[in-house]
A and B are shown apart, each in its own frame.
Chain A
Amino acid sequence: MESIIEGFRKAFSLIFTLDPELLSIIFLSLEVSVIALIVATAAGLPVGSLTGLKRFPGRGLIVSLLNTFMGLPPVVVGLFLYLLLSRSGPLGFMALLYSPTAMIIAQSILAFPIVAALSHSAIIKVEPVIKQASRTLGAKPFQVTVAVVKEARYGIMSAVIAALGRAMAEVGAVLIVGGNIAGFTRVMTTTIALETDKGNFELALALGIILLMISFVINMVLYVIQKKGVVQAE
């Protein structure tokens, strides 16, 4: 019990003294996750919009795959990406293994189905009458699409926030493809895993607290967005 209390005391000390190692790990985590989120959103939103707005052969299969991949085990993603990026792999010539770029790719792969599938859900929930209304007012096909996507904006924002949560909390894939190299690819989750193994609980706890705080902020933002999206009739 005493060691836990001592661990927390040291953890808070690291946070309040703005320990440089702690800060560099936090910033790298945020950098990797935010870039991965941008990539996942840039790819996932068009896919979610397409499956939400258009009827085409194979649409059901794509939606089912996206829903399945939402629960993709990170270690499996890490394993496949490792095989692709390792020196003997097909993409080995790019020398990306054990780099932040590899971690961004891994997190993007994990975040993409979340953005795509939840955006799809948000878009199909938009009432068909919105599409009709914009057409009656003279909207071109692209403007109709924009109107529908805009109506789904709160759901789409929730999808993006949920994907950020997944990316930030991810450990398995980034550990495999990032290698957890100090000062280069060491992010919050991988540091927590490593420091716990070593018995250095203060840094692990400090990062755990920060991760929880970030998760809390993300969920608060998600709550506010979802609340804003529900308009109560007077």
Chain B
Amino acid sequence: MLLEMAAEGDPERIVLGSHDGGITAADLLERARRAAVYFEKSGAEVVGYFGVNSDVLPIALFGAALAGVPFTPINYRAPDEQLTGILGRVAGGLMVADDDEVDRLRACGAGNVVTKGELASAIAEPVTGEHPFVDPEEIAVLLFTSGTTSEPKAAVLRHRHLVSYIISSVEFLGCEPTEAQLICVPPYHIAGIAAVLSSLYAGRRIMYLPSFEAASWVRLATEERITHAMVVPTMLGRILAAVEDSGVEPPALRHLSYGGGRMPLELVERTLRDLPDVDLVNAYGLTETSSTIAMLTPDDHREAFASDDPLVRARLGSVGRPLPSLEVEVRGTDDAVLPAGEKGEIWVRGEQVAGEYVGNNVLTEDGWFRTRDAGWFDDEGYLYIDGRLDDVIVRGAENISPGEVEEVLMAHGAVAEAAVIGIPDAEWGEAVAAVVVLHDGAAATQDELQEWVRQRLRSTKMPCVVDFRDELPYSPTGKLLRRVLRDELAEAVGGAS
């Protein structure tokens, strides 16, 4: 429906690709229709996307929607074991993949694989036929999201959630045709999906940079006259450095939004100083809420930055105010709503909030979703995030489950107990740290254990520091007190730097 509206509203507007030769709205709709027919013929129950961003993504996304089947972008960096598990859960699916991923996909159990190139050829032919109207209750997108245990959960987003989010937060064709968005966030992240929908509905051209490299980003932003971009915290620091080094500032850039993890304050301030004409938006949202639920606007940023009042200045570290179409509350352990200034869990309710995993709807009886994020409101309704309640480490925009890394550490012969926690980090928001207790008489070095983890999981999950202790703190009920370790290590690291 969103694509159809865009195609009807301004069919000749270039919505995807280069300003010089990109795909128009009408063209995208046509290709999506052809893709839908292809998907229907293949009998796929789910359309998967396994690879980096490309122009095929929106075609596959909308094609799946028109065909009435769920779309699931999958993390191509997932280790084989996890990938096999995921593929098992979407058996009966058709995977649209990068050429160099086909073998791996088949090896991990994917039955039906088509390369992006093959799909593009298959839809070169026009098709006829109407598409049956798709029920808004149908599942639009499945996104696998990590939690505290190593098994990822499949978050369910139905058409009505995504559509509601878009129509209540985006002005239809509110953009000039000259506006263009550089998308460099992974397709398997909610931001990657939301970006396609909101750009298209707003009439903002999408330009993909499949893998991030700072100088390329700056170059593409300049050549393609990019006006808008979304960055995760790690990208921003590198982009600012690249701008400084090259002396070239993308001339059309006027809007940067960021989110996905904690943005270090120094970086926000540096951006406000180095790029004063660029509007900054901090967007807080989750997969389960169809992305953004609160936002720190450009005015909020500038006002806070210019203020002498410490309370106002502090807002640069907040995620702003909830979207008007939603209700957000901070609640205590007894589920009671807390007043401003008190820390608790962030709860949210609204049409865009799905709060659902395959086989499990976790909304409360009256429709609230518990984010498992800790936070608090200030007196003016600005929301602050204080880490996760459930100990998931958010490094860059990646969720890392401590349990997974702990298991790997404990598989090492010398390690008796292991606790893995997130500690504040200027570049990544949070970094992975480990605290271990060795067996009596055993020996291991930090380097050894880091290498041990790196070989078994990805390098992003490798602890940046390993602290050796005689014992770990446990609660009276035997629960590992990660928060205590986190506080102790954060202090030690903070003190040292």
A and B: interacting chains: no
Name B residues whose Cβ lies closer than 8 Å to a Cβ of A.
Answer: none
Name A residues whose Cβ lies closer than 8 Å to a Cβ of B.
Answer: none
